[in-house]
Structure 1
Amino acid sequence: MENYNLLFPRLRSARSRKRAGRKDVEKQIRKKYNRSEKLWDIRRKIPWIPLENPYQRGFVRFFVLRDDVKRSKDTDFFEGILNKINTYMYSESRQFLKKKKKSGRRIYVEREQKLKRISSLGWNDPKLGFTQRERQYFLKKEEYNPFRKRNDIYYEFIEPWRFILRVRPNMITHYKPLDSELEKECDELGSYLRQYKVAGIIRKKIYGRPKPWKADYETDLIKSRKYTAYIMSATELADYFEDL
């Protein structure tokens, strides 16, 4: 009886066993996720090998400087901006057409191509390195995102007329060798990590960030003019509505 009483405190409750099982699952998912990230980095660092006989695969369309902008003294300045907001579109034909339904029948129309919009994260990204002069050529805008159910902030170039579209053959000159074992492991990990419950745990435990209800509540109050009038000075209030 005494031995039984000594062992009793060591028995784990059902709640403790459930918590331990959940942590083991999270550790397994985190381990597989880290392995997937490592394999992705290995694949990215595989060197490209030049082809002996390059071949054409359709056409590519992108933006270039207009001739009058090239002849100006700000050629290097706008070339630097274009390198950060240029977009590339590929097509099997030179026309860059797409199907569109009109009046019950399908017609071909030209595919629209625009310059890249800079997100709020990219705006402050040191890799892009926007200078103060370059920032003056962008306009801050907001657009409602139906998936996130909120307004997303982005920055758009205000003088797109300085660039024109150019179409060139899309030449394939290099290839990256594939490792069958590496690709097989990547596919297996990707199939596991894309499962509904596993993806939910990854978003919560790895990507998740604390976001208390108070932050959302204060944000909604700041958008109210009545509340803003009490917490902001006249100068701060003017700057706030100028950014909207």
Structure 2
Amino acid sequence: MENDNLLYCRLRSLRSRKRIIKKDVEKQIRKKYKRSKELSEIRRNQPLIPLEEPYQLGFVRFFAVRDDVMRSSDGEFFQGILKKINTYMYSSSRQFLKKKRKFGRKIYVEKEQKLNSISLYSWSNPKFGLTPRERQYFLMYEEYCPLRKGYKTYYEFIEPWRFILMTRPHMITHYKPIDAELEKEYAELESYLGQHKAVGILQKKIHGKSNSWKMKYERHLIKSRKYIACAMSATEIAECFEDL
């Protein structure tokens, strides 16, 4: 009788076995996720090796401070702003053209290049390095995003005329060595972590969000479609009180 009771205590219930299996799977995903981050850091920090003979790979176009602005007393100031909002575009030719359909036929037009806008997160992030004086040269805009069904806030530079586009040959002078074993292990980890079940556990247990793509945006009450039909002007409200 005692042996039967001891055997019964050692046997786990179905719910307990499922819980243990679930915890083991989560531990395995956490371990692989940690290893993936380590390999990613190793790949990122691999030193570049200089080429014996540099070669040209097309052209690169970017913004630069105008000569007259650079010669002024604020030249270094605007150079610092440009480092934060500059953009680079690469092309196989110096013309930077793209195909566009017009009146049923394809034509080539020049690619448009603009300065980067600053997101709301970067604007309030001290690591981005915007000084109070630099903030005075940016203007806030709000744009409705139909995909996320919310308003996106960003900041744009108000004096883009201070910069001009420049084109230079894109020279390749260094290359990064490839470790075959490291790349193979990293690819296997990314394939495993990219599965539907693993992604769900990562979002819920590690990142702390079960549905990270469903973000809530703060919107003004008048801009909300729910209350747009109920909005009353100040004069209408005053007329209602006068009737009383």
Q: Structure 2 CA distance, aligned partners of 1:152 and 1:20?
A: 44
Q: Structure 1 CA distance, aligned partners of 2:172 and 2:64?
A: 21
Counterpart residue number, 1:148 = 148
Q: After superposition, what is the alpha-carbon deviation per residue over 1:160-201, rounded to whole angstroms, capped at 9, x for unaligned? A: 111111000000011111111111111111122222232222
Counterpart residue number, 2:119 = 119
Counterpart residue number, 2:132 = 132
Deviates further, 64-73 or 120-129: 120-129
Equivalent position amino acid for 2:159 in 1: E
Q: Which runs of 5+ in 1 are unaligned?
A: 226-244
Counterpart residue number, 1:166 = 166
Q: Which runs of 5+ in 2 are unaligned?
A: 224-244
Counterpart residue number, 1:228 = none
Counterpart residue number, 2:82 = 82
Q: How many Å apart are 1:108 and its aligned residue?
A: 1.3
Distance 1:43 1:97, change over 3 A: same
Does residue 71 of structure 1 match 2:78?
A: no
Counterpart residue number, 1:239 = none
Corresponding residue to 2:221 among 220, 223, 228: 223
Q: Structure 1 CA distance, aligned partners of 2:8 and 2:196?
A: 39
Q: Structure 2 CA distance, aligned partners of 1:169 and 1:134?
A: 31
Distance 1:21 1:45, change over 3 A: same
Q: How many Å apart are 1:158 and its aligned residue?
A: 1.2
Q: Structure 2 CA distance, aligned partners of 1:173 and 1:66?
A: 27
Q: How many Å apart are 1:19 and its aligned residue?
A: 2.3
Q: Structure 1 CA distance, aligned partners of 2:189 and 2:55?
A: 34
CA RMSD, Structure 1 to Structure 2 (Å): 2.4
Q: TM-score, normalised by structure 1?
A: 0.82
Counterpart residue number, 1:98 = 98
Does residue 188 of structure 1 match 2:184?
A: no
Conserved in 1, the CA contact under 8 Å of 2:200 and 2:210?
A: no
Equivalent position amino acid for 1:50 in 2: P
Q: Structure 2 CA distance, aligned partners of 1:195 and 1:111?
A: 37
Q: After superposition, what is the alpha-carbon deviation per residue over 1:136-160, rounded to whole angstroms, capped at 9, x for unaligned? A: 1111222233443322222111111
Q: Structure 1 CA distance, aligned partners of 2:41 and 2:151?
A: 33
Task: Give the secondary-structure state (helix, strand or coil) at the position aligned to 2:126.
Answer: coil
Conserved in 1, the CA contact under 8 Å of 2:139 and 2:155?
A: yes
Equivalent position amino acid for 2:221 in 1: K
Q: Structure 1 CA distance, aligned partners of 2:19 and 2:33?
A: 21
Would you say how many aligned residue pairs link Structure 1 and Structure 2? 220
Runs of 4+ in 1 over 6 A off after TM superposition: none
Q: Structure 2 CA distance, aligned partners of 1:16 and 1:224?
A: 52
Q: How many Å apart are 1:14 and its aligned residue?
A: 2.4
Equivalent position amino acid for 2:38 in 1: K
Distance 1:6 1:177, change over 3 A: same
Q: How many Å apart are 1:203 and its aligned residue?
A: 2.0
Equivalent position amino acid for 1:142 in 2: E
Counterpart residue number, 2:108 = 108
Task: Give the secondary-structure state (helix, strand or coil) at the position aligned to 2:47.
Answer: coil
Does residue 157 of structure 1 match 2:160?
A: no
Q: TM-score, normalised by structure 2?
A: 0.82
Counterpart residue number, 1:13 = 13
Equivalent position amino acid for 2:61 in 1: R
Structure of larger gyration radius = 2
Task: Give the secondary-structure state (helix, strand or coil) at the position aligned to 2:128.
Answer: coil
Distance 1:108 1:188, change over 3 A: same
Q: After superposition, what is the alpha-carbon deviation per residue over 1:95-115, rounded to whole angstroms, capped at 9, x for unaligned? A: 111112222222211111111
